[in-house]
């Protein structure tokens, strides 16, 4: 079982719709959760992070965390063509050795005109 | 406020040569992480360093790979005797030591290594 799982997609949504990206993780000790956006050929860009159960909103983005279900999601409202990218879910399990990120393989999002 | 800097952005090496990848963290950041992204694969952690210390190298291949973060200068990821399977994008990330953003890692533009 992979530590962080995402549907590879592509997930296609029309412009203006809500895009819902999902991620599950296997390690119950995971404590911090991150969403990165990566355009083709570029580096990951941090969008949001969440530590506590519930929702966290930032502009058009909402992150949702359910630790009991080991599930984290990202909602993108009013999707734009510029949102078309691969979205990476990452988790941190704090250890004495540091805060390494464990990534999923990403979900490709396509926002269509 | 400059972000994480990496150089070179593209590096071509022949099999058996050495590759040196450099990373300068964001100003005020003292934690450096290296990740590798193989074609069509996810990002994989390699090593975590603080100044003059390797904190976690659990993701580093046992041979040919080494990393350092000296007191002065950038962090360096060194790959000796490169093979074609080393061709990948290598990303460096940095985070601050303290504060609300302690766990947030910001990525550099990456170095794309091609081994011929």
pLDDT of residue B100: 57
Which run of H or of E encompasses A91? strand A85-92
pLDDT of residue B101: 61
Q: Which of A9-18, A97-106, B31-40 has the least mean pLDDT? A: A97-106
Q: Mean of the pLDDT values across residues A99-107?
A: 91
Chain B nearest CA to A1, separation (Å): 15
pLDDT per residue as tens, chain B (116 positions): 579 999 999 999 999 999 999 999 999 888 999 999 998 788 999 999 998 999 999 999 999 999 999 999 999 999 999 999 999 999 999 988 765 566 789 999 999 999 99
Mean pLDDT of all residues belonging to chain B: 92
36-95 in A: which are within 8 Å (CB) of B? Answer: 36, 42-46, 49, 88, 90, 92, 95
Cβ distance of B105 and A46 shorter than 8 Å: yes
Q: Give the DSSP letter of residue B99.
A: S
Tokens of B57: 């190298």
What percentage of chain A reaches a pLDDT higher than 90?
80
Q: pLDDT tens digits for B38-69? A: 987 889 999 999 989 999 999 999 999 999 99
Q: Is the pLDDT of residue A14 over 70?
A: yes
Per-residue confidence band for A93, with pLDDT thresholds at 50, 70 and 90: confident
Contact B19, B81 (CB under 8 A): no
Q: What is the largest CA-CA distance in chain B?
A: 44
**Measured distance CA(A73)–CA(B7) in Å, rounded:** 34
**Measured distance CA(A93)–CA(B74) in Å, rounded:** 27
Q: Angle at Cα A91 formed by Cα A89 and Cα A96, nearest 5°?
A: 160
Contacts for A56 with CB less than 8 Å, ≥ 6 apart: A48, A50, A62, A63, A64, A65
Contact B113, B11 (CB under 8 A): yes
Half-sphere exposure of B14 (CA within 13 A, CB side): 0
The contact set of B with A (CB < 8 A) is 31, 33, 35, 41-45, 48, 55-56, 58-59, 91, 93, 95, 102-110
Q: Mean of the pLDDT values across residues A13-26?
A: 96
Q: Mean of the pLDDT values across residues A17-41?
A: 93
Tell me the three-class secondary structure of B26-93, residue by residue: CCCEEEEEEEEECCCCCEEEEEEEECCEEEECCCCCCCCEEEECCCCCCEEEEECCCCHHHCEEEEEE
Tokens of B37: 């992204």
**CA-based nearest residue in chain B for residue A101:** B45
Per-residue confidence band for A8, with pLDDT thresholds at 50, 70 and 90: confident
Rg (CA), chain A: 14
Residue A33: CB atoms within 10 Å: 26
């Amino acid at each position: 079982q992979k530590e962080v799982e995402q549907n590879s997609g592509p997930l296609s949504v029309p412009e203006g719709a809500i895009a819902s990206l999902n991620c599950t993780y296997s390690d119950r000790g995971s404590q911090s959760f991150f969403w990165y956006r990566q355009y083709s050929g570029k580096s990951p860009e941090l969008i949001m992070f969440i530590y506590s159960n519930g929702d966290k909103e930032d502009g058009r983005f909402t992150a949702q965390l359910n630790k009991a279900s080991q599930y984290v999601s990202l909602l993108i409202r009013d999707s734009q063509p510029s949102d078309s990218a691969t979205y990476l879910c990452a988790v941190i399990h704090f250890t004495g050795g540091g805060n390494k990120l464990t990534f999923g393989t990403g979900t490709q999002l396509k926002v269509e005109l | 406020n400059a972000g994480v800097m990496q150089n070179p952005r593209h590096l071509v090496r022949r099999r058996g040569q050495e590759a040196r990848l450099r990373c300068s963290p964001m100003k005020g950041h003292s934690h450096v992480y290296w990740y590798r992204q193989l074609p069509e694969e996810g990002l994989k952690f390699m090593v975590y360093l603080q100044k003059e210390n390797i904190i976690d190298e659990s993701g580093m291949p046992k041979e040919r790979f080494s990393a350092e973060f000296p007191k002065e200068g950038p962090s360096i990821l060194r790959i000796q005797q490169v093979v074609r399977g080393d061709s990948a994008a290598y990303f460096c990330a940095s985070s601050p030591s303290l504060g609300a953003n302690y766990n947030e890692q910001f990525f550099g533009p990456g170095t794309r290594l091609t081994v011929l």
